[in-house]
């Protein structure tokens, strides 16, 4: 098995942190704002559990964090390609 370099570990850690940011955001919002009610668009509200409230807020985080995750994974791919090309040329 190939040993991972420092750059790989850094990109892996950043990717995991971004991916875990999506559920962490929903749980944080639920911890700070949950009052036992879920709210719809303007007119309606209903009683809901803590987890349902958290799940309702996770798509907002996904909209913000998925493009960032794709960008980081793209940079990682570019670094891997550059390393392979440099290895072939040497």
Domain limits, the chain:
6-81
Q: What is the mean pLDDT of the chain?
A: 90
Q: Output the CA torsion 73→77→83→86 (10° steps).
A: -150
According to the model, what pLDDT value does residue 1 have?
A: 57
Q: How confident is the model at residue 81 (pLDDT cuts 50, 70, 90)?
A: very high
Handedness of CA 47, 49, 54, 58 (dihedral sign): negative
**Above 60 in pLDDT, residue 49?**
yes
- According to the model, what pLDDT value does residue 35 have? 92
**CA 72 to CA 53: how far, in whole Å?**
29
Tokens of 28: 């944080």
């Amino acid at each position: 098995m190939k040993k991972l370099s420092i750059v790989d570990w850094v990109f892996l850690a950043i990717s995991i942190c971004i991916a875990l940011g999506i559920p962490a955001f929903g749980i944080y919002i639920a911890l700070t704002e949950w009052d036992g009610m879920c709210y719809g668009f303007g007119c309606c509200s209903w009683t809901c559990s803590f987890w349902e409230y958290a799940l309702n807020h996770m798509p907002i985080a996904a909209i913000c964090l998925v493009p960032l995750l794709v960008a980081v994974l793209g940079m990682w791919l570019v670094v891997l390609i550059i390393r392979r090309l440099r290895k072939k040329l040497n």
